[in-house]
Amino acid sequence: METIEQIRDRLVARFPAARVELVTNPGPAAEHSLLLDAAHAHDLAVFLRDDPALRLDYCSNVTGVDWPDKEITDVTKTTVPDPAGGQPKIVEQKTTRLQPGCLEVVYHLYSMALKHGPVIIRLRTANRSDQVTLPSLTPVWRACDFQEREVYDLYGIVFSRHPDLRRILMWDEFKDHPMRKDYVEPDDYEWEPTAHGAVAEKHKAHLPPPAATPEAKP
């Protein structure tokens, strides 16, 4: 099978308007992936499925990932000459910037016809709050049907052109998205009398306030 760089070059050559980036995987597994832009994802996916050299007809796994907003502190060191003529001083300047988070969908593609793979593609939303729509790849690979429903259910990514997008694991009237990093579970579970640690702390809020002790008179 071609390397991921060769696939990227062919995709860019075939769809010049599409943005295809290589995302390197730093660990020992070295499974690099391609980040596709949402507008052309469907056409790129059809190309990957039908191209005679790739024939990636089997979408194995669809995963949602939550990347929350991150506060990054940049420390810049500048050398400031001493006006008095002595040693130049090194001044540290700390600036914090907010790297906006996003929701991401990762597709693992294999080929059953040519028995090779994986080719990993990713799609990212613009942000985590209001722009969470991505094109669905279910029309390309029916395998994404239930898995994209699960990503919608647990992460909140809305897949446009999905034939039947509704919750799959949680019940239909459920409101939140449980796999997000900032999900707060509702405080309605049954009291566990042997609770300790974090669960005991949460449970203390439900206990009745301690009875007022009479003050010791001198």
Partner 1 sequence: MLGTGILKGLLVTAKNFTGSYHDPKRMVTVEYPEQKTVLPENYRNFPFLVSESADDPMGTLRCVACQICEKECPPQCIIIEKSKDKKPDAAGKQQFYPAIFSIDTSVCMSCQICVEVCPFDSIKMDKVFEIAATDRFQDLLLTRDRLAKSNSYYHQIHPEEAAEVDGRLAAERKIAEEKAKAAAAAKAAAAKPAASVNPASAPAAPAPKTPPPAA
Partner 2 sequence: MSCSDQTGLDAELLAFGRQSGPTVRAVHDQFHGDLLEVSMGPQHPSTHGVFRMVATLDGEQIVKLKPVFGYLHRNHEKIAENTTYLGSMPYTDRLDYLCSMTTNWAYALAVEKLSGQAVPDRAQYLRIIMGELTRLVNHSCLVGFLFNDLGTSFTPLLYAFREREKILDLFESLSGSRMMCNYQRFGGCRVDPSPAWLAAARALVDNFPRFLDEYERMLTGNEIMLARTQGVGRLDPAHAVNAGLTGPVLRASGVDYDIRKVDGYGFYPRFDFRVPLGAHGDTYDRYMMRILEMRESVKILQQAFKDLPAGPIMDPKAKIRGFRPKPGEAYGRIEGPKGELGFYLISDGSPNPYRYRVRPPSLINLTLLEEMCLGHTIADSVVILGSIDIVLGEVDR
Q: Which residues would be at the binding site for partner 2 (CB under 8 A)?
A: 25-29, 31, 57-61, 63, 65, 106, 108, 112, 115, 118, 120, 138-147, 160-161, 163-164, 167-171, 178-179, 183
CB of 85 or CB of 197, closer to partner 1: 197
Strands 158-160 and 133-135: parallel
**Least distance from C-beta 39 to partner 2, angstroms?**
14
Using the contact rule CB under 8 A, the part of the chain among 23-31, 95-103, 170-178, 190-198 near partner 1 is 190-198
Distances in whole angstroms, Cα of residue 133 to Cα of each of 39, 80, 162, 198: 11, 48, 11, 35
CB of 207 to partner 1, least distance (A): 16
Residue 60: phi and psi, rounded to 5, are: -85, -45
Contacts with 32 (C-beta within 8 Å, 6 or more apart), sequence order: 4, 22, 23, 24, 25, 120
Closest by Cα among 122, 133, 78, 74 to 98: 74
Residue 52 CB, nearest distance to partner 2 (Å)? Answer: 16
Per partner kind, with CB cut-offs from 5 to 8 A, the member of partner 1, partner 2, none near residue 25 is: partner 2
Q: Tell me which long-range contacts 179-185 makes (C-beta under 8 A, separation of at least 24).
A: 179/64, 179/66, 179/154, 179/155, 180/66, 180/128, 180/154, 180/155, 180/156, 181/66, 181/68, 182/68
Q: Which does 141 bind (CB under 5 to 8 A by kind): partner 1, partner 2, none?
A: partner 2
CA dist 107 → 19, 88, 118, 120, 134 (Å)? 17, 53, 10, 6, 13
Select the residue interacting with partner 1 from 193, 209, 210, 218 (CB under 8 A): 193
Residues in binding contact with partner 1, number by CB under 8 A: 5
* Residue 196 in contact with partner 1, rule: CB under 8 A: yes
Q: Binds 193, which of partner 2, partner 1, none (CB < 5 to 8 A, cut-off by type)?
A: partner 1
Of these partners, partner 2, partner 1, none, which one is at the site of residue 29 (CB under 5 to 8 Å by kind)? Answer: partner 2
Interacting residues with partner 1 (CB under 8 A): 192-194, 196-197
